[in-house]
Amino acid sequence: MRTWNKRGLLLSVDTYFSKDLHSHASIPFCLHIKDNKFRIYFSSRSPHGKSLPYFIDAKIEGDSIFLDGHPVGPLLDLGDIGTFDDSGIMPSCLLWNGSQVYMYYIGWNPQISVSYRLSIGLAISNDGGQSFVKFSKAPILDRALEEPYFNTAPYVIRENDIWRMWYISCTKWELILGHPEPYYHVKYAESLDGINWVRKGIVCIDYDESAKAIGRPCIVEVNNLFKYNMYFSYRNVLSYRTEKWKGYQIGFAVSDDAITWLKKYDEVGIGLSDYGWDSMMMEYCHVFKFLDRYFMLYNGNDFGKQGFGYAVCK
């Protein structure tokens, strides 16, 4: 079992507050640029509650991450009115495709009968991840016959000629105390080009007594008994905004084929703090390896309202 050493809040929204970067630094993702240089992408909210993508450069020295400069963005404009991303764009996963960088992002709209609708979009960079152009006005993954509600929060890797995606699929909304709440779990898809995806109908991480909503998977390839590790967020559907242990926590699962997974909550090696910015929630983590250390970026209370922090383990 890994034991994570929390290093505190890395990016505080209060420090970088601006007209556009008004609140939140959610769903952080760290892209390796070269040597010990990285670029951390995240989503912030405008004063009008619109989500927009940013990045901040960083470097790693030993077991510490240091931010370099100030946030850059917004990297994309909101979609035209009526399109899937006219109210929010949140980067979820980035990877190199030759000299290009593919950004898989969450696009969202507010709804009437329920709170929101989420879809998966793609933007492409030709300058090393500094600027992006949307692949299409339409999402690359949206509602379908077998998935009538929404899908979101993809994590993508390439293995040989196969692109593999783990993503969140909503299975229902339920009125709880008069408010619609979604249930969602982790499913799997494949592609030959990273653009056209075949959904396999495979549920990788399903519901259990503790997890009624399972969010933003992150896949880590390791060389031990199990080839793949997955970190994910999970929460209840009752009082998850206000009660400790009912809000988001970090979950852990293992697999030898990346399709059939075994949850191991007791082996995650990290949990809520007794007090402070991550004492009520921990969610939306990105775990990655650099040299001989693993790093975890993650959000805390109020879905990343204060910013994001990190933890490290050898």
Per-residue pLDDT tens digits for 62-75:
999 999 999 999 99
What b/e string do you get for 183-207 counting C-beta neighbours within 10 Å, with b at 16 or more?
bbbbbbbebeebeebebeeebbbee
Return the pLDDT at 225. Answer: 59
Per-residue pLDDT tens digits for 200-244:
899 999 999 889 999 999 999 876 656 899 999 999 888 888 888
Return the pLDDT at 293. Answer: 94
131 burial (CB, 10 Å; 0-12 / 13-18 / 19+) is middle
| Total residues belonging to the chain | 314
Give every residue of the chain whose pLDDT is below 70, as ranges: 1, 19-20, 223-226
Domain boundaries, the chain: 5-313
Pick the CATH number of 5-313 from 2.115.10.20, 2.40.110.10, 2.30.290.10, 1.10.580.10: 2.115.10.20
User: DSSP character for 279?
Assistant: S
